[in-house]
């Protein structure tokens, strides 16, 4: 069958999920040099696609302009005005993206959606009688959508450094010694290494003379990062001080990132930076390990009830989050120092 030349890609949220699509999109475009992609997502994620050739980013505000079912139809109309598409790659598979895919299929544009295999993920997270089985990586699930549309696509699953940018944040000084990013926050408690313990990690790395950059977003996260910056000589908070594009430029210059199972891990992955990742209620077997990251760089406990959640959003049935509290700060810091020694 003839391959399409212009694909409409739908992936609206969340930040980490959108970031995970970036390495897949890059490899798809590299392997199909005639292809153009129109990518639709939330306005705040446009920086992820900055500098990628043959991609047009369409921001969609789902809180106002494209809210609800009516908004989905309005977005469909907007997209039809912007161009003609040979296929729709639905990388989200939620109500909104499915409506838009269906509307395009009614117009004769073929489409495929991601298979999230919710049944297997339910077996992975149930307790007791858990099926602790490695599931297909989410990046391969994304790639599978393009393959179903007729594209050959082989993912390298290697960390790839982006092309150097011509601009750098004025907030960042000349690099000396090791630079490590710390992304200690996540949307759900089941993913967050207790901040008191993470501060102990920061303290150990600070004593080792490593330059540390703290990443986050909310006012509460900004307050935590500012407190650490004040306490520790080699710590700099980047929370709400630079744009997302500048943040990505800074991440690309890091030697290593320390992150949860969260957007911080995936942003580092798309910038070709290795990550020491700390996992609690979730598990990399569900398919969300950062693209190109090594399982040896994971820090996690082996408690029998883990994982209990795919996304970390379920309350701990033990009420103590032992999966996180069982991880010692020294073990995390030791993993970071050992990894740095290899670089």
Count the Cβ atoms, other than its own, within 10 Å of residue 13. 15
Whole-number percent of the chain with pLDDT over 70: 96
- The answer for residues whose C-beta is within 8 angstroms of residue 222's C-beta and 6 or more apart is 216, 237, 239, 240
pLDDT in tens, 48-79: 999 999 999 999 999 999 999 999 999 999 99
CATH architecture label of 6-148: 3-Layer(aba) Sandwich (3.40)
Task: Quote the DSSP letter at residue 25.
Answer: H
Nearest to 221 by CA among 248, 243, 198: 198
Quote the Cα angle for 293-298-299, to 5°.
Answer: 160
pLDDT in tens, 90-111: 999 999 999 999 999 999 999 9
Confidence at residue 173, expressed as pLDDT on a 0 to 100 scale = 66
Nearest to 77 by CA among 42, 43, 106: 106
Instruction: Give dist(CA 271, CA 274) in Å, integer.
Output: 9
Count the Cβ atoms, other than its own, within 10 Å of residue 205. 24
Q: Which of 55-69, 163-177, 203-217, 273-287 has the lowest mean pLDDT?
A: 163-177
Q: Region 127-156: what's the mean pLDDT? A: 97
Q: Tell how strand 55-59 and strand 36-41 pair up.
A: parallel
Nearest to 155 by CA among 247, 288, 267, 21: 21
Identify the helix (H) or strand (E) that includes residue 213. Answer: strand 211-214
Query: Could you tell me the pLDDT band of residue 172, with boundaries at 50, 70 and 90?
Result: low
138-148 and 15-31 are packed helices; what angle lies between their axes, rounded to 10 degrees?
50
Question: Could you tell me where in the chain the CATH 3.40.50.2000 domains are found?
Answer: 6-148, 179-342
When comparing pLDDT for 165 and 340, which is higher?
340
Nearest to 87 by CA among 141, 144, 150, 8: 8
pLDDT at 129 over 70: yes
pLDDT at 252 over 60: yes
Query: Could you tell me the pLDDT band of residue 228, with boundaries at 50, 70 and 90?
Result: very high
Confidence at residue 175, expressed as pLDDT on a 0 to 100 scale = 87
According to CATH, the topology of domain 179-342 is: Rossmann fold (3.40.50)
- pTM of the predicted model over 0.75: yes
Query: Could you tell me the pLDDT band of residue 1, with boundaries at 50, 70 and 90?
Result: very low
Count the Cβ atoms, other than its own, within 10 Å of residue 34. 10
Helix (H, G, I), strand (E, B) or coil at 39: strand
Question: What token pair was written down for 334?
Answer: 């030791």
Q: What is the mean pLDDT of the chain?
A: 95
């Amino acid at each position: 069958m003839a391959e399409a030349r212009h694909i409409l890609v739908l992936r609206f949220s969340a930040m980490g999920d959108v970031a995970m699509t970036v390495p897949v999109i890059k490899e798809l475009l590299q392997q199909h040099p005639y292809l153009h992609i129109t990518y639709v997502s939330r306005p705040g994620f446009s920086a992820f696609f900055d500098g990628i050739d043959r991609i047009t980013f369409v921001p969609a505000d789902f809180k106002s302009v494209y809210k609800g079912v009516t908004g989905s139809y309005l977005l469909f109309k907007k997209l039809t005005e912007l161009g003609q598409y040979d296929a729709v790659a639905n990388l989200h598979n939620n109500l909104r993206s499915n409506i838009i895919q269906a509307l395009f299929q009614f117009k004769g544009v073929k489409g495929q959606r991601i298979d999230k295999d919710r049944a297997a993920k339910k077996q992975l997270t149930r307790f007791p009688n858990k099926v602790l089985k490695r599931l297909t990586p989410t990046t391969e699930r994304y790639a599978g959508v393009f393959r179903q549309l007729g594209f050959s696509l082989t993912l390298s699953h290697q960390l790839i450094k982006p092309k150097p940018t011509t601009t750098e944040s004025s907030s960042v000084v000349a690099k000396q010694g090791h630079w490590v990013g710390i992304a200690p926050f996540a949307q759900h408690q089941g993913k967050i290494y207790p901040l008191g313990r993470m501060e102990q990690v920061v303290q150990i790395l600070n004593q080792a003379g490593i330059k540390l950059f703290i990443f986050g977003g909310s006012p509460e996260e900004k307050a935590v990062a500012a407190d650490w910056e004040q306490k520790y000589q080699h710590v700099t908070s980047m929370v709400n001080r630079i744009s997302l594009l500048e943040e990505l430029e800074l991440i690309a210059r890091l030697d290593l990132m320390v992150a949860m199972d969260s957007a911080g891990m995936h942003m580092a992955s798309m910038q070709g930076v290795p990550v020491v990742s700390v996992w609690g209620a979730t598990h990399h077997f569900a398919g969300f390990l950062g693209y190109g990251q090594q399982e040896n760089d994971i820090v996690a406990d082996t408690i029998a009830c883990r994982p209990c959640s795919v996304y970390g959003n379920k309350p701990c049935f033990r009420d103590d989050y032992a999966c996180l509290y069982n991880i010692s700060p020294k073990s995390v810091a030791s993993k970071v120092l050992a990894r740095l020694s290899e670089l």
